[in-house]
Amino acid sequence: MFIRSLTLAALLAVAGPLLAADADTPLAQERGKSRPLIIIASSSVDPTLVKLKKDFNDSPNKEEFAKRNVALYTIVALAGQRNGKDMDAQSTMALIRELKLTVLDKDQAQVILVGKDGEKKIDHKGAIDPKEIFSTIDQMPMAEKEAAAAKPDTPPEEPKSTAQGGKPGKPGKAGKGAAAAPPAALDD
């Protein structure tokens, strides 16, 4: 019994930091909350990077990105930012590892859109139109659920009155002489 407990403790001691490291990655922190848009460029003057940053901060597009919960990550020469704020080197490297990037293309920037589920939705080299990003997001199942939640189709229920004269909204108790409701039929 002691050996089993010792073995379990050793396994937890080894596996604990590995599991915690996976949860600390930037994409893991975004999962379920926002849609990361990652731009990877070799230079800060890359035309794709400059255009997408301008599009992201442009007034009408900024509202569209915000409405779709998009977080902008940029990686330029191994220096990372999230929505214009610098990330530390460990977070940047964790983001690169999580995206499974091995070689950064020096000729063209790479644009990656990750859904709320953590899966890559767009993996594109070179310039991309924000409208293409918006249409991809709008076709995602999570975006459809969010839109449905924003517009309820059914009107709110009205309070039910009871046969026993109880308070509205609360079911009344059946008395001794009251007939019980027949049981519901089972579905096969």
Q: Which pLDDT belongs to residue 14?
A: 60
d(CA 25, CA 91): 6
Task: Flag whether 188 is in a domain.
Answer: no
Task: Flag whether 91 is in a domain.
Answer: yes
The answer for residues whose C-beta is within 8 angstroms of residue 133's C-beta and 6 or more apart is 37, 70, 113, 122
Q: Which pLDDT belongs to residue 20?
A: 46
Mean pLDDT in consecutive groups of 10 residues from the start of the chain, 188 residues: 67 55 73 87 86 82 85 86 88 86 71 87 86 86 58 52 52 57 61
pLDDT digits (tens, 9 = 90+) for 44-81: 888 888 888 888 887 788 888 888 888 888 888 888 88
Task: Flag whether 140 is in a domain.
Answer: yes
**Helix, strand or coil for residue 1?**
coil
Task: Please tell me the total count of domains within the chain.
Answer: 1
Quick one: 121 exposed, middle or buried, by C-beta within 10 A (0-12, 13-18, 19+)?
middle
Can you give the pTM of this predicted structure?
Answer: 0.61
CATH code for the domain of 138: 3.40.30.10
Task: Flag whether 143 is in a domain.
Answer: yes
Task: Flag whether 4 is in a domain.
Answer: no
Task: Flag whether 64 is in a domain.
Answer: yes
In order of 59, 90, 127, the CA distances from 47 in angstroms are 20, 27, 8
What is the residue range of 121's domain? Answer: 23-147
- Please check whether residue 142 is in contact with residue 116, taking contact to mean a CB–CB distance below 8 angstroms: yes
- Please check whether residue 42 is in contact with residue 104, taking contact to mean a CB–CB distance below 8 angstroms: yes
